[in-house]
Amino acid sequence: MVKINSSNGDNWSGKICQGFNNSRVVSELCLAVFCFKRVEDTITQTVAGSPGGKKKPNVSFHQLQVRDTAFDRPRDWLGNRFIYAVISSRATGLSLGVDVNPDKKCNFDCSYCEVDRRIPSRAHKLDVEVMAAELRKTIAFIQSGKLVELPSYRTLPTELLRLRQVALSGDGEPTLATNFVEVVQAVVRVRALGGFFKLVLYTNGTGLDHPNVLRGLELLTHSDEVWIKLDGGTQSFIDKVNRPDVPLEKILSNILLVGRLRPVVIQSLFPAIHGEEPPFEEIREYAQRLKELKAGGAQISMVQIYSAARPGVNAEWGHLPLRVLSQIAQTVRLTAGLRAEVF
């Protein structure tokens, strides 16, 4: 018999059980990822008929390395240089990414990052004209229904193959690109000539106060979104997880700057650190920072709580179980009064 062991006397999760709604967690998971399934928590196997019903040692999630889901697959470049496709749980389906930083330039060095910077870059700078042509071609290919003919997509539900968004993201921090405004202009032009799609900027927030970035954001519609990373609530934790070259205060200031201009989504990735979940004190500080941002006038439409899904370069950082992610989200709801979803 196989059972899920969700009790752990040593972790912080039991400290916030009051008001915890299990049915909400189940509905969140079903809504966000459709047929997404993971091995969650520690699995304990009991061997039927063994003397005294003895249990085998626990097997950790990280030892199992279960990655056979639609949402854990690598990015698919589809023969392009700058445009890739990915089935995203947070986008609830197909997302096209624009690799704004093919040179892999980033001012974070996230411990869980999947980008291997030991491998030479594919290009030193995004060619805007080539990118726009690839985007038009790829959207036309998706709209033709031919994507499902490719082996990687043949078994996926049709609902997952609808284009949900075009994301400005890629192998580095998009707001550091010197041609950021030109990239946004080109993508907006493709949309104007070929049909509407939602445009989403994925950013660590450090460059949001740059004048050219603010000019680029002015080109976005009310339907477009800005997703800003915030992976912790203290400088020490951010230094451990993200290893940025800017202080946490700068990130919070930029979230407040843009959040006062338009609604933003906070994207927070919490990895397992050497198999351990984040300290409760850190999650409490994180939720407090969100509360302060809201009180300061930031329009936060959603907080996304998730963990490392694809294998990263650093094998010591892994995926947190759904139980822990759900309790982090509940802490955000109770402390900051914000909508928090688990992915």
For residue 312, what pLDDT is reported?
64
> Which amino acid would we find at residue 286?
Y
For residue 118, what pLDDT is reported?
84
For residue 246, what pLDDT is reported?
96
Q: What is the pLDDT of residues 167-221, one digit of tens each?
A: 999 999 999 999 999 999 999 999 999 999 999 999 999 999 999 999 999 999 9
DSSP string, 144-192: TTGGGGSTTTTTS-GGGGSEEEEEEESSS-GGG-TTHHHHHHHHHHHHH
Confidence of residue 316 (pLDDT cuts 50, 70, 90): confident
> Which amino acid would we find at residue 341?
E
Buried b (16+ CB within 10 A) or exposed e, 163-184: bbbbbbbbbbbbbbbeebbbbb
CA distance 236 to 244: 11
Strand order in the sheet with 264-269: 83-88, 93-99, 163-169, 199-203, 225-229, 264-269, 300-306, 340-342
Q: Please indicate whether residue 341 or residue 64 has the higher confidence score (pLDDT).
A: 341
Lowest-pLDDT range, 51-60, 87-96, 192-201, 305-314? 51-60
Q: Which CATH architecture is the domain 2-342 placed in?
A: Alpha-Beta Barrel (3.20)
Q: For the chain, give the mean pLDDT.
A: 83
pLDDT at position 29 over 70: no
Tell me the β-bridge partners of 303.
266, 340
Pairing of strands 317-318, 272-273: antiparallel
Q: What is the pLDDT of residues 62-90, one digit of tens each?
A: 333 434 456 667 899 999 999 999 999 99
pLDDT at position 6 over 90: no
> Which amino acid would we find at residue 309?
A
Q: Which two tokens stand for residue 300?
A: 């936060």
Q: Contact 93/87 with Cβ under 8 angstroms?
A: yes
Tell me the β-bridge partners of 96.
85, 166
For residue 66, what pLDDT is reported?
39
Q: Which of 100, 241, 96 is nearest to 181 (CA)?
A: 100
Across 23-27, 114-118, 130-134, the highest mean pLDDT is recorded for 130-134
Alpha helices in 40-163 (DSSP H): 61-64, 128-143
Range 23-27 average pLDDT: 36
Q: What is the Cα 139 distance to its own chain's centre?
A: 23
CA distance 273 to 315: 10
For residue 73, what pLDDT is reported?
73
For residue 279, what pLDDT is reported?
96
Q: Please indicate whether residue 27 or residue 149 has the higher confidence score (pLDDT).
A: 149
Q: What is the pLDDT of residues 259-305, one digit of tens each?
A: 999 999 999 999 998 889 999 999 999 999 999 999 999 999 999 99
Percent of the chain with pLDDT over 70: 78
Q: Contact 180/188 with Cβ under 8 angstroms?
A: no
Buried b (16+ CB within 10 A) or exposed e, 83-108: bbbbbbbbbbbbbbbbbbbbbbbbbb
CA distance 322 to 38: 9
Range 32-57 average pLDDT: 35
Percent of the chain with pLDDT over 90: 71
Range 124-153 average pLDDT: 96
pTM above 0.85, yes or no: no
Q: State the angle between helix axes of 22-33 and 322-336 in degrees (0 to 180), rounded to the nearest 10.
A: 110
DSSP one-letter code for 35:
T
3-state secondary structure of 272: strand
Domain spans of the chain, in order of start: 2-342
Range 16-29 average pLDDT: 38
Which are the contacts of 76, defined by CB distance < 8 A and separation ≥ 6? 84, 85, 86, 152
For residue 47, what pLDDT is reported?
31
For residue 72, what pLDDT is reported?
62
